[in-house]
Chain A
Amino acid sequence: MTKLIYELSRPGKRTYIPVKKENISSKFPHELLPSKFIRKKKAYLPEVSELEVVRHFTNISQLNVGVDTNFYPLGSCTMKYNPKISEYITQDSQFKDIHPYYPEKFSQGALEILYETASYLEKISGMDKVTFQPAAGAHGELTSLLVIRAYHTANGNPRKKVIVPDSAHGTNPASSALAGYEVIEVRSNEKGMVDCDHLRELMDEDVAAIMLTNPNTLGIFEQNIKKIADLAHEYGALLHYDGANLNAILGRVRPGDMGFDTIQFNLHKTFATPHGGGGPGSGPIGVKSHLVKFLPVPHVEKKKGGAYFLNYDYPESIGKVRAFYGNFLVVLKAYIYLRILGERGIFETSAGAVLNANYLLGLIKDKFDLPYNERYMHEFVVSTKRYKDKGIKALDVAKRLIDYGFHPPTIYFPLIVKEDLMIEPTETEDREVIEAFADALNSIAEEIDKDPDLLKEAPHVTPVGRLDEVWAAKHLILRYEKTEN
């Protein structure tokens, strides 16, 4: 195993740092800063040479698996390729080195990008106004719910409950609870869609919102969406669209037209910005006109003469949910992606995503169980239930896929399917990759019959073998601590 950089540390090792003398303050920190900000103990930093740093991080980076190295069909996460031109452009100092405190007149270009990207997202989603403040999908869910709470409060009663499907992502109930709502679960029916009769039973005037993703987490389109939206609105509740699965319907149907009042986008999924590692996330939200005044401030707006400005004049706003205007460079990457695709490209994206998923499903469906025999969209869920007698679980299949050179799919989500693999290939993979992955899954299915231990002990080709997840969950170590030696 690789050592930690702290373990490489030896007293006195240094790296040459070229600095211009005139840029250095000749004062010590305690002469410049109030004493409460001065650390009492010397910071414990690793002492290593430049070469050691380079080798250390290069070696670690080579252990990493990402979209740039392997097929990564992680269901619900839309691990599509992130075009390198986005990295190239965002490294330009005109973007990279600007500061949010620059006066508006020097930031017109940046404001234009925020404004334009918002207008694209508004058009794609059928919403009236988009803000970029939230820093992740889950943060966007929370922000949407705070907007919904502000709306109900302005109408005299914040209400008490949020309804989420039993197939929902864990962040949906978590965001609801954080926004001060009680979470109520609505059942899925035998087709994997919201059970509308159950939903009707659950509805009352205390319901603030229903959260749905469409297609849902099984990859199945909620055909009763109009009925659900009408039901919500009949009781004065609002409908939130979890945009995690927007890739499936991009350019085809719009959440706004389905009756949704709010949406959160996951730029790192649908709009090809990095999932962490390469930078922070972004979870913009969009709302219908009746909710615009509750959005976080400032709004980026355009004056009659064409100049962009930041408008803070929204007294009913929920306030800020993050510093400044969101993660600007991430928004810029989404803007670049949208400009590369254009309207036609966006339209074709969803077709490619759905085609790839269905082609892959067709290639493997004889060897795995299909819990719902419905039309799938950009992703699908199969189960390894039939292999239970051999002692094989979904986890074992996932680990074995690593040996074949693939990142495993999502497993054990959504919770309503037992022993499931949730597979989302995305549109950026070509036919050969899809077929190679199908071959791997089918050959693993054969291995289960011949030599199940091969799976139970997988992965075999990684620097470390099967990790002890129970031990890791129970002995959580979140930071390095120096041990005296």
Chain B
Amino acid sequence: MELRDGLLYSKEHEWLKVEGDEGICGVTDYAQDSLGDVVYAELPEVGKKIKQMEPFMVLESVKATSDVYAPVSGEIIEVNEKLQDSPELVNSDPYGEGWLVKIKLENKDELNNLMDKEAYAKFLEEEEK
């Protein structure tokens, strides 16, 4: 499983890349692998208010339909329109072209609830047991 430096990770397997008071969010390599081939991304509307740890959008794979949880609270300011036609980007490039949404952060303290790369790697080990 690929993990990247400089990202924050949630227990529900989302990653967040913080830039100023904005964050780009996607799902991790581990998440895309357990989801299986993604066939549809039900993206939220720009302007939607989301709350940390609550589901805010849905990814549909050949196996199942799964909620994606908000790594932080805030407002959706951009969604990855490319996923409308090419949801498979979530599988092929989860940390890059397969990003999901851009979030305007509401409360930076919430970032303390997320894990860094090392902590997430440990968390995954536990999950796999």
A residues neighboring B (CB under 8 Å): 170, 412-413, 415, 418, 469-470, 473-474
Cα A413 to Cα B64 with chains together (Å)? 9
Q: Could you pull out 20 A-B pairs where Cβ atoms are within 8 angstroms?
A: A170-B65, A412-B36, A412-B63, A412-B64, A413-B64, A415-B64, A418-B34, A469-B37, A469-B62, A470-B37, A470-B39, A470-B62, A470-B88, A473-B39, A473-B40, A473-B60, A473-B62, A474-B39, A474-B40, A474-B87
Cα A468 to Cα B65 with chains together (Å)? 18
In the complex, chain A residues whose CB is within 8 Å of the CB of B40: 473-474
Cα A162 to Cα B3 with chains together (Å)? 37
What's the nearest-Cβ distance from chain A to residue B30, in Å? Answer: 11
What's the nearest-Cβ distance from chain A to residue B43, in Å? Answer: 16
Cα A91 to Cα B116 with chains together (Å)? 67
Cα A472 to Cα B64 with chains together (Å)? 15
Residue of B nearest to A393 (CB): B36
In the complex, chain B residues whose CB is within 8 Å of the CB of A415: 64
Number of B residues with CB within 8 Å of any CB on chain A: 12
Secondary structure at chain B's binding surface: helix, strand, loop or mixed? loop
In the complex, chain B residues whose CB is within 8 Å of the CB of A413: 64
> Which 4 A-B pairs have CB atoms at the shortest separation, nearest pair first?
A473-B39, A412-B63, A470-B37, A469-B62
Cα A413 to Cα B65 with chains together (Å)? 12
B residues neighboring A (CB under 8 Å): 34, 36-37, 39-40, 60, 62-65, 87-88
Q: Of residues A413, A415, A474, which shows the largest number of chain B Cβ atoms within 10 Å of its Cβ?
A: A474
What's the nearest-Cβ distance from chain B to residue A75, in Å? Answer: 15
In the complex, chain A residues whose CB is within 8 Å of the CB of B37: 469-470
What's the nearest-Cβ distance from chain B to residue A476, in Å? Answer: 10
Residue of A nearest to B67 (CB): A185
In the complex, chain B residues whose CB is within 8 Å of the CB of A473: 39-40, 60, 62
In the complex, chain A residues whose CB is within 8 Å of the CB of B87: 474
Cα A469 to Cα B60 with chains together (Å)? 13
Residue of A nearest to B91 (CB): A470
What's the nearest-Cβ distance from chain B to residue A420, in Å? Answer: 11
What's the nearest-Cβ distance from chain B to residue A217, in Å? Answer: 13
Seed contacts A170-B65, A470-B39, A474-B39; 17 additional CB < 8 Å A-B pairs:
A412-B36, A412-B63, A412-B64, A413-B64, A415-B64, A418-B34, A469-B37, A469-B62, A470-B37, A470-B62, A470-B88, A473-B39, A473-B40, A473-B60, A473-B62, A474-B40, A474-B87
What's the nearest-Cβ distance from chain A to residue B82, in Å? Answer: 14
Residue of B nearest to A418 (CB): B34
Cα A473 to Cα B36 with chains together (Å)? 13
Cα A474 to Cα B36 with chains together (Å)? 14
Cα A170 to Cα B65 with chains together (Å)? 9
In the complex, chain A residues whose CB is within 8 Å of the CB of B64: 412-413, 415
Residue of B nearest to A173 (CB): B65
What's the nearest-Cβ distance from chain B to residue A207, in Å? Answer: 19
In the complex, chain B residues whose CB is within 8 Å of the CB of A474: 39-40, 87
What's the nearest-Cβ distance from chain A to residue B15, in Å? Answer: 20
